[in-house]
Amino acid sequence: MMLFRWPLLLWLGVLWFPPSEAAPAAEIPLFDAHIHYNHDVWDALSPKEAVAILREAGVRCALVSSSGDEGTRRLYAEAPDLVVPELRPYRKTGETRSWLHDDSVIGYLQARLDTQAYVAIGEFHVNGTDADLPVVRRLVQLAKRQRLMLHAHSDAEAIERLFRQDREATIIWAHAGYESPALVREMVRRYRNLWPELSSRTDVAPTGRLAPAWRDVLVEFPDRFMIGTDTHQPERWKAVSSNAAFVRRWLEDLPDEIAERIAYKNGEALISSSCPKGSPKTTTIPAR
């Protein structure tokens, strides 16, 4: 099996910061709310190596989903103390658009849910009026019956439509929808069960320092935001450490208590525990 063996500078990637700049917050643990271990990385990166990368970056818990789900199960088997499993509707990469029209998705999800516990369905992609398509509606109802959260890569309109289908849903909002800080603030004010995660949001700190508009939102809602990496492509695994350094860098611009909440405490509070322990079937599912 071929292993990942890149030089150190390649691992650090484009978001690397000198140790002297990142040192003050370097030890803060992280709850990474957006990790994938997809089938296109399995042959290059073993579960043991993937877990080692997360631990070396200081990730205390990781919300993991995969295309297909076997990747999540492999990582969970390797590190049940680290991995919080969620279930994607994708059986392989490249289904981000086709799943919306695939009636077999619901049966696939139900079959997987019957054999292992998960905390959420997602991350799935849906925007605008597509959130009202029959397959999406059935997914929302399945999550409601199973008392699972939704992890949605969606614009603000789709988030609103998902909440209309289940007003009591808990939704993790991937990348905060790539929406503006002003619109994210409006959405968080409106929906008490909306939890934005900030993976791939380099605009949060475009110069390495927290942008003022984002700082205002995070200070107003310190208990609603999480961070993430989004390893949606194999090469993104090379960015886990550099992303952790980037996040810790801008967290320094917040009061310590708020920084800790966003770094890991909000994620742990959302799943009603610290990292899962025990067998997959005993993974904590949030109360509704």
Tokens of 246: 């980037």
- The mean pLDDT of 8-21, rounded to a whole number, is 34
HSE-up (13 A, CA, CB side) for residue 164: 11
The CA R_g of the chain, rounded to the nearest whole Å, is: 18
Would you state the torsion angle of the CA atoms of residues 58, 63, 51, 281, taken in this order, to the nearest 10 degrees? 130
| CA 188/CA 281 separation, integer angstroms | 32
Q: Is 274 left (phi over 0), alpha (psi -120 to 50) or beta?
A: beta
26-48 residue pLDDT tens: 489 999 999 999 999 999 999 99
- Determine which helix (DSSP H) or strand (DSSP E) holds 211, and give its type and residue range: none
CA distance 67 to 110: 16
More confident residue, 288 or 270: 270
Residues 202, 227 contacting (CB under 8 angstroms): no
Structure confidence by residue, pLDDT tens digits, 190-224: 999 999 999 999 999 999 999 999 999 999 999 99
> In this predicted structure, what is the pLDDT of residue 274?
59
